[in-house]
């Protein structure tokens, strides 16, 4: 049995980023850039009006002669405003080079072929100047940047149609347990609804990972054959349940029989001690406990960092913060405890129902509170580390 820190270190050593691929920008949400992107244009590519109004030349008068109109998309490279002249212009329109300012229409009055400015105005206002956002050749997004909606919009603004990204891992979730039945069916005595696949797949979707769940009965032969197939189908195999030492816990045995090299088994933590991480020729395996809160904790703590690294992200896992705990807590020295909590500004509240079988407190939590091994007591206002949940 190893420490949490050692477990994370061993996973990090074992994982490398997946190969890169070129995909259409429109399909790139949630991916990570595998190459730095430099801008091929200035942005804006021309002086651009920031609002509807009038582009003027001059500041010594409040009355200007209107000589034309500019809509967004018009080419104004041949329009030359002389002193005392103006053009009607709309948001996004190309500002003539000789314009000294754009005034918003709300402070103007149009009288036939003239516009009167009703309030004081300053030169150079309401113009988005050429390359104000980025110059041609400048770094737009660096390698390792995660492509969220804003990043995709920014690259589209620069005319980027495709990007080089790290491939997303293919993930399969293996669920075991004869006591489990599908949601929607009627429960018989001794049965419970299978919820871990829904939980784990939803948590993976929070990373933009589309995973598939496979259910197998508590039978060694079926478990062996299913794992044999899945090890060649995916980059990450996550199992839930069947990893302990019971007579019907076949996952660990089937993994070893299929040549999975055990990197570690059991971590000094609560919940989620019976956790196995191993590798095959083509796959990384995370055998998580079957208890719902334990499985989700293991996914957040160990599978997330593995996915981040496979996808080339600079972040090594969920964000960690230092806050003060609002109540006392005690435990043994040998284990790290991960407790469901809720951060309010700089203070964290310890939630009720911390059992590894309970998800109701997880549903109300926004963090896990890490109570590290080697310490037994915490008091109100002590500083603790919290792991912020997605």
Is 178 a residue whose pLDDT tops 90?
no
CATH number at residue 373: 2.40.340.10
Mean pLDDT calculated for residue range 183-194: 81
Is 24 a residue whose pLDDT tops 80?
yes
Q: For residue 211, is it within any domain? A: yes
Query: Do 266 and 220 fall within a single domain?
Result: yes
Number of domains comprising the chain: 4
Q: For residue 315, is it within any domain? A: no
Query: Do 214 and 244 fall within a single domain?
Result: yes
Confidence grade of residue 58 (pLDDT, cut at 50, 70, 90): very high
- Given this model, what pLDDT does residue 40 score? 97
Q: Percent of the chain at pLDDT above 90?
A: 86
Query: Do 140 and 71 fall within a single domain?
Result: no
CATH number at residue 112: 2.170.190.11
Out of 110, 128, 146, a domain closes at 128
Query: Do 354 and 306 fall within a single domain?
Result: no
SS3 (DSSP) at 26: helix
Query: Do 236 and 183 fall within a single domain?
Result: yes
Calpha distance 69→65 (Å, rounded): 12
Dihedral of CA 47/53/59/61: which sign? positive
Query: Do 58 and 145 fall within a single domain?
Result: no
pTM, entire model: 0.85
CATH number at residue 222: 3.40.980.10
Q: For residue 332, is it within any domain? A: yes
Confidence grade of residue 247 (pLDDT, cut at 50, 70, 90): low
Name the CA dihedral angle for 261, 263, 265, 271, rounded to a multiple of 10 degrees.
-130
Count CB-CB contacts under 10 A for residue 191: 14
Domain housing 295: 4-17+168-310
CATH number at residue 157: 3.90.105.10
Is 249 a residue whose pLDDT tops 80?
no
Out of 248, 280, 310, a domain closes at 310
Query: Do 66 and 142 fall within a single domain?
Result: no
Q: For residue 175, is it within any domain? A: yes
Query: Do 213 and 154 fall within a single domain?
Result: no
pLDDT digits (tens, 9 = 90+) for 340-379: 999 999 999 999 999 988 899 999 999 999 999 999 999 9
Is 244 a residue whose pLDDT tops 70?
no
Is 245 a residue whose pLDDT tops 70?
no
Which long-range contacts does 346-350 make (Cβ < 8 Å, 24+ apart)?
347/323, 348/323, 348/324, 348/384, 348/386, 350/325, 350/326
**Can you list the alpha helix ranges (DSSP code H) found in the chain?**
4-14, 149-157, 196-205, 220-233, 251-257, 292-298, 304-310, 360-364
Q: Would you say 264 and 237 are in contact if contact means Cβ atoms under 8 Å apart?
A: no
Calpha distance 192→196 (Å, rounded): 11
What rounded mean pLDDT belongs to the chain? Answer: 94
Query: Do 173 and 275 fall within a single domain?
Result: yes
Q: Would you say 346 and 323 are in contact if contact means Cβ atoms under 8 Å apart?
A: yes
Calpha distance 283→306 (Å, rounded): 12
pLDDT digits (tens, 9 = 90+) for 294-346: 999 999 999 999 999 999 998 889 999 999 999 999 999 999 999 999 999 99
Mean pLDDT calculated for residue range 45-54: 97
Backbone φ and ψ of 380, nearest 5°: -50, 135
Q: For residue 351, is it within any domain? A: yes
Is 203 a residue whose pLDDT tops 80?
yes
Q: For residue 93, is it within any domain? A: yes
- Given this model, what pLDDT does residue 241 score? 78
Q: Which two tokens stand for residue 153?
A: 């919009």
Q: For residue 65, is it within any domain? A: yes
Query: Do 179 and 69 fall within a single domain?
Result: no
Q: Percent of the chain at pLDDT above 70?
A: 98
Query: Do 248 and 283 fall within a single domain?
Result: yes
Q: Would you say 373 and 3 are in contact if contact means Cβ atoms under 8 Å apart?
A: yes
Calpha distance 61→83 (Å, rounded): 10
Confidence grade of residue 193 (pLDDT, cut at 50, 70, 90): confident
Query: Do 187 and 106 fall within a single domain?
Result: no
Confidence grade of residue 205 (pLDDT, cut at 50, 70, 90): very high
Mean pLDDT calculated for residue range 162-175: 96
Q: For residue 206, is it within any domain? A: yes
pLDDT digits (tens, 9 = 90+) for 224-237: 999 999 999 999 99
Max CA-CA distance within the chain? 93
pLDDT digits (tens, 9 = 90+) for 130-166: 999 999 999 999 999 999 999 999 999 999 999 999 9
Mean pLDDT calculated for residue range 87-100: 97
Q: Each residue of 71-87: b (16+ CB within 10 Å) or e?
A: eeeeebeebebeeebbb
Is 110 a residue whose pLDDT tops 60?
yes
- Given this model, what pLDDT does residue 186 score? 84
């Amino acid at each position: 049995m190893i420490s949490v820190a050692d477990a994370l270190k061993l996973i990090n050593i074992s994982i490398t980023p997946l190969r890169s691929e070129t995909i259409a920008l429109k399909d790139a949400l949630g991916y990570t850039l595998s190459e730095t992107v430099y801008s091929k244009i200035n942005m804006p590519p021309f002086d651009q009006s920031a609002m509807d109004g009038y582009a003027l030349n001059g500041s010594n008068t409040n009355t200007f002669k209107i000589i034309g109109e500019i809509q967004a998309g018009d080419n104004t490279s041949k329009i030359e405003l002389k002193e005392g002249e103006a053009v009607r212009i709309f948001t996004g329109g190309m500002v003539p080079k000789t314009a000294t300012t754009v005034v918003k229409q709300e402070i103007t009055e149009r009288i036939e072929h003239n516009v009167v400015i009703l309030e004081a105005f300053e030169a150079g206002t309401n113009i988005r100047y050429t390359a104000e956002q980025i110059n041609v050749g400048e770094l737009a997004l660096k390698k390792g940047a995660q492509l969220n909606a804003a990043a995709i919009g920014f690259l589209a603004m620069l005319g980027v149609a495709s990007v080089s990204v790290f491939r997303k891992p293919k993930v399969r979730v293996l669920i075991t347990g004869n006591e489990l039945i599908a949601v929607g069916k009627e429960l018989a005595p001794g049965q419970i609804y299978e919820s871990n696949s829904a939980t784990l797949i939803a948590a993976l979707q929070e990373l933009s990972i589309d995973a598939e769940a496979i259910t197998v009965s508590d039978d060694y032969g079926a478990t062996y054959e299913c794992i044999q197939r899945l090890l060649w189908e995916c980059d990450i195999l996550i199992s839930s349940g069947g990893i302990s030492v019971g007579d019907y816990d076949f996952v660990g045995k089937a993994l070893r029989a299929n040549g999975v090299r055990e990197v570690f088994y059991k971590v000094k933590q609560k919940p989620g001690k019976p956790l196995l991480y191993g590798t095959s020729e083509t796959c990384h395996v995370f055998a998580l406990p079957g208890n719902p809160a334990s499985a989700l904790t293991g996914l957040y703590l160990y599978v997330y960092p593995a996915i981040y690294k496979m996808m080339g992200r600079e972040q090594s896992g969920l964000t960690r913060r230092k806050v003060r705990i609002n109540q006392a807590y005690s435990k043994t020295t040998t284990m790290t405890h991960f407790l469901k909590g809720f951060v309010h500004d700089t203070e964290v509240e310890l939630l009720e129902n911390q059992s590894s079988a309970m998800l109701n407190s997880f549903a109300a939590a926004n963090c896990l509170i890490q109570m590290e091994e080697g310490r037994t007591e915490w008091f109100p206002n002590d500083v603790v580390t919290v792991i912020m949940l997605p």
